[in-house]
Structure 1
Amino acid sequence: VMGLIFAKLWSLFCNQEHKVIIVGLDNAGKTTILYQFLMNEVVHTSPTIGSNVEEIVVKNTHFLMWDIGGQESLRSSWNTYYSNTEFIILVVDSIDRERLAITKEELYRMLAHEDLRKAAVLIFANKQDMKGCMTAAEISKYLTLSSIKDHPWHIQSCCALTGEGLCQGLEWMTSRIGVR
C-alpha cells in the first residue's frame, strides 16, 4: 500500500503538466523557439494562424506549450488561451524598436487579466545575433519590467536560430515550479 501511495505522489509531482503560452508580435520568433525546444533544430515556419501546441519535457517536467499567432488581428483572441496558464513566454524581436511600445501594451494587458494573475513571465529578448539589436537590459528598461511586482519574471537574451539562451530560460521556468 505504501508503495502505491508513493508511486501516486511521485507521479503527481513528476509528471504534472505545466501550461505555457508563447506570445509576442508577429515575426518575433515564437514558433522558431517552440520547435528549437522540441527538436533542437531550426524549422522553416510561416506565420501562425491560430496556435501550435507541443509538449516539451525538461528533467521530468512536462510543459504544454501553446505558441499563439501574433498578428494584430489575432491578439484580441489571446485571452481564450489564458485559463490555467502557469507561464507566459513573451518573445521580443530585439531589432524591432518601432513596435516595442505595442509589445509593452500587450504585456501589461495580459498581466492585468484575471486568468493570468498567478502566471510567471519569461521574456526572451530574441535575435541577439543581429547587428544593432537592443540588449536584454535595454528591453527590460523600456518594458519597465522592474515595476512588475505581482508576477515573477525573468528576461533572457536568446537567438532562436542557434538556440543560444533558450535552455537558460527553461531552467528559470523549472526553478519556478512549486514556488508560488
Structure 2
Amino acid sequence: MFLGLDSAGKSTLLHVLKHGRSATLTPTIHPTLEEVNIANVNFRIIDLGDQHSSRLAFQQYFSDLDGIVFLVDSQDRDRFSESKVDLDALLADQRLEGKPLLILGNKNDTSGAVSEEELRSALGLTQTTGKGDVPLTDMRPLEVFMCSAILKQGYEEGMHF
C-alpha cells in the first residue's frame, strides 16, 4: 500500500513502476489498485489518493497488507510534522504490527530537499532495522530510503528491503 500526504509522489511512483516513465498526473481522488513486477517479484499496490478521507479510510485494507510504502516529499519541510502524525499512527496500530514499513523520502533530486538524516530526525525515526541483509528478530522491518520517482532513482533498493 502506498500512503503519504498529497503531492508526496505516490501516483507518480506507481506510474513509473508500472509504465517505466513519469507523466503529468492529476491528483488521485479514488483508490487505485495496480499490479507491477519489480525484479521478478509481483506487487499489488494500492494508491489511496490524496484526499484526507482516503487517508483515514485506508484501515479497511490492513488485513490484506504485506507491507506499507510511506512517501514523504523531502523538500516540503512545512509538512514534515503532518507526515509524522500519519506515520506515528501507522506505527502505533496493532493491526500492522510486524508488517514491513518502507519510508521513501521522495523528490531528493530537487533543490531544498533534506538529507536522509534530516528526514529521519523530522519523523522521529531514531531506530530502524538497517539496509541490506539484516537479520530481524522480533522487530518490524522499518527503513528510510531517499529517492526520486521522476528520475527513477533510489526506490528500487527500498523495494528490495
Q: Same fold (TM over 0.5)?
A: yes
- Matched AA of 2:47: D
1:32–1:43 contact (8 Å) kept in structure 2: yes
Residue 163 (structure 1) aligned with residue 143 (structure 2): no
1:37–1:56 contact (8 Å) kept in structure 2: yes
Unmatched 5+ residue regions in structure 1?
A: 1-20, 173-180
Deviations for 1:91-144, whole angstroms, at most 9, x for unmatched residues?
000111111111111011112223211211111100111111111211111112
1:84–1:115 contact (8 Å) kept in structure 2: no
Residues in 2 aligned to 1:168 and 1:130: alpha-carbon distance in whole angstroms: 20
- The corresponding residue for 1:66 is 46
Residue 145 (structure 1) aligned with residue 134 (structure 2): no
Q: TM-score, normalised by structure 2?
A: 0.87
Report percent identity of matched pairs: 32
- Equivalent residues in 2 for 1:95-174 (5 A)? 95-147=75-127, 150-172=139-161
Helix, strand or coil for the counterpart of 1:160? coil
Higher helix share: 1
- Equivalent residues in 2 for 1:46-85 (5 A)? 46-85=26-65
- Equivalent residues in 2 for 1:4-43 (5 A)? 21-43=1-23
RMSD between aligned alpha carbons? Answer: 1.6
Unmatched 5+ residue regions in structure 2?
A: 130-138
Q: How many residues align?
A: 152
Q: Deviation at 1:53?
A: 1.2
1:86–1:118 contact (8 Å) kept in structure 2: no
Residues in 2 aligned to 1:99 and 1:156: alpha-carbon distance in whole angstroms: 18
Helix, strand or coil for the counterpart of 1:48? coil
- Matched AA of 1:63: F
1:85–1:115 contact (8 Å) kept in structure 2: no
Residues in 1 aligned to 2:30 and 2:128: alpha-carbon distance in whole angstroms: 28
Q: Deviation at 1:171?
A: 1.8
